[in-house]
């Protein structure tokens, strides 16, 4: 037992030392990226349970904004809203765990061991699970591989921390107990290698990725191959020969690997094809360009005499080849969608002030089921004028006449009417079979109407200009009576 502990410690120290040296440039780049993203601590420190129930500060690159503190659940779920864009990348690639090599060097952790739990879950180590505290927590282990994408295991209809306590922790504890009771020095080296492989392979949830994106990924692979083949045909006026043919064959597998791989890591497949937009096209151009450059550099390493012209031309050609299937897919889905028949309601807006113009903007953009006839307003200076291309057709007493011409279905009142005003307009709408909608009686519009205050002109009188309706004047103003 003593020899096993010595062997384990020596292996931990050697691999952790080499790991820190080899990963130093990567960690430096991550630190620089985090600093550019936001000011604050680069390293996230959290008290975790160590061997024998002692505590230590586990180190990670931060994934949340520096000012987030301890808000939110104690576990991280897929698509966690707290994560920054860089933090999500670090979590997906497990690069946020690199600082824990220092924890291993300090003998606070081991390369292989149970995953150290936060103090929020210290109460779970009771009964048979208390045995887990006999082992030094580790960076790798059976659970770190089996639960590589643990963040995606949390159901949407249950609180994450409660689900972890009820389901995930017992499962993980049983796996750890079964393994570490029989583990050996050689088997732990195997788990280190398996852990590194799982960290790399698990960057992408392949089952989900293939299920959702297999068709577009296949088209992207064909598009990259076609782009590379076309630029070779252009450069050599046909199929290249000899050394240039070898370069063509190398590019046929290297370039799709790097371009599509970079697109996957760069979240180019996050947006469905049917929702492909101009913003997505810009992102696709940037990410595919990065992937093409990286892939072409590898082609140049594998075949030194490859033409620079091919790389520059392919850089330009690959984007149209990738974007064309997405544009066609977007058009296909738009044509395929069955547009339901909608009943158009003719709306007359009562009040040509701020509320009325805001309502017009909302009705114009929000739904095709509303057709605005125009405005009515009781302020004489506004009569026969226009707002945003819509005519002020009259005042309250003109509603029956307006209805004869425009066949009004709904009257929307954009101010808080007096009791007398409301009674009169209700009577008119009942006689004309017009649906009355008073925004001040309807949430959430009532809060906006309540908080609206009339402006004053230079004489201290209510402003009757088209920018502030007469309906927003104090209620004792007799001109608003219609």
Q: Which domains does the chain have, with CATH numbers?
A: 2-201 (no CATH), 209-336 (no CATH), 345-481 (3.40.50.720)
Q: What percent of the chain has pLDDT over 90?
A: 38
Element at 55 (helix H, strand E): strand 55-61
Handedness of CA 49, 51, 56, 61 (dihedral sign): negative
Pairing of strands 138-140, 345-350: unpaired
Q: How far is 91 from 148, CA to CA, in rounded Å?
A: 11
Q: How confident is the model at residue 193 (pLDDT cuts 50, 70, 90)?
A: confident
pLDDT the model gives residue 54: 93
What is the DSSP secondary structure assignment for residue 135, as one 8-state letter?
S
Q: How far is 155 from 146, CA to CA, in rounded Å?
A: 18
Q: What average pLDDT does the segment 110-135 reach?
A: 91
Q: How far is 108 from 24, CA to CA, in rounded Å?
A: 20
Query: Chain-wide mean pLDDT for the chain?
Result: 83
CB atoms within 10 A of CB 251: 27
* pLDDT tens digits for range 218-229: 999 999 999 999
- Among 66-70, 113-117, 277-281, 421-425, which is the least confidently predicted range? 66-70
Q: Is 156 helix (H, G, I), strand (E, B) or coil?
A: coil
């Amino acid at each position: 037992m003593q020899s096993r502990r010595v062997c384990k410690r020596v292996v931990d120290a050697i691999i952790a030392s080499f790991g820190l040296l080899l990963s130093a440039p990567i960690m430096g780049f991550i630190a620089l990226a985090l600093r550019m993203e936001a000011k604050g601590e680069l390293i996230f420190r959290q008290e975790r349970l160590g061997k024998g129930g002692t505590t230590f500060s586990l180190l990670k690159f931060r994934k949340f904004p520096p000012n987030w503190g301890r808000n939110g659940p104690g576990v991280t779920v897929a698509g966690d809203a707290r994560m920054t864009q860089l933090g999500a990348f670090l979590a997906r690639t497990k690069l946020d765990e690199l600082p824990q090599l220092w924890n291993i060097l300090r003998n606070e952790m081991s390369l292989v061991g149970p995953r150290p739990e936060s103090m929020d879950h210290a109460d779970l180590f009771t009964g048979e699970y208390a045995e887990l505290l006999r082992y030094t927590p580790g960076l790798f282990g059976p659970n770190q591989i089996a639960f590589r994408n643990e963040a995606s295991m949390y159901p949407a209809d249950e609180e994450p921390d409660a689900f972890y306590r009820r389901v995930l922790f017992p499962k993980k504890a049983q796996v750890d107990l079964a393994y570490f009771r029989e583990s050996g020095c050689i088997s732990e080296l195997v788990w280190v290698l398996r852990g590194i492989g799982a960290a790399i392979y698990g960057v992408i949830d392949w089952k989900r990725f293939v299920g959702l994106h297999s068709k577009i990924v296949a088209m992207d692979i064909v598009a990259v191959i076609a782009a590379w083949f076309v630029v070779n045909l252009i450069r050599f006026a046909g199929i290249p020969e000899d050394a240039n043919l070898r370069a063509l064959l190398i590019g046929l597998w290297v370039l799709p690997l790097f371009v599509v791989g970079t697109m996957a890591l760069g979240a180019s497949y996050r947006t469905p094809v049917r929702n492909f937009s101009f913003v997505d096209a810009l992102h696709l151009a940037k990410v595919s360009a990065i992937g093409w450059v990286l892939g072409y550099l590898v082609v140049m390493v594998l075949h030194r005499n490859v033409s620079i012209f091919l790389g520059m031309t392919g850089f330009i050609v690959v984007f149209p080849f990738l974007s064309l299937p997405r544009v066609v897919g977007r058009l296909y889905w738009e044509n395929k969608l069955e547009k339901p028949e909608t009943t158009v309601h003719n709306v007359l807006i009562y009040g040509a002030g701020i509320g009325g113009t805001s309502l017009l903007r909302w009705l114009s953009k929000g739904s095709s089921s509303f057709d605005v006839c125009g405005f009515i307003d009781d302020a004489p200076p506004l009569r026969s004028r226009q707002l945003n291309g819509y005519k002020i057709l009259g005042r309250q007493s003109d509603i029956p006449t307006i209805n004869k011409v425009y066949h009004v279905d709904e009257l929307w009142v954009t101010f808080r009417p007096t009791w007398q005003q409301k009674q009169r307009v209700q009577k008119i709408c009942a006689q004309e079979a017009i649906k009355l909608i008073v925004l001040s009686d309807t949430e959430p519009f009532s809060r906006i109407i309540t908080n609206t205050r009339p402006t004053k002109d230079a004489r201290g009188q209510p402003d009757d200009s088209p920018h502030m309706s007469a309906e927003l004047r104090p209620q004792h103003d007799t001109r608003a009576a219609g």
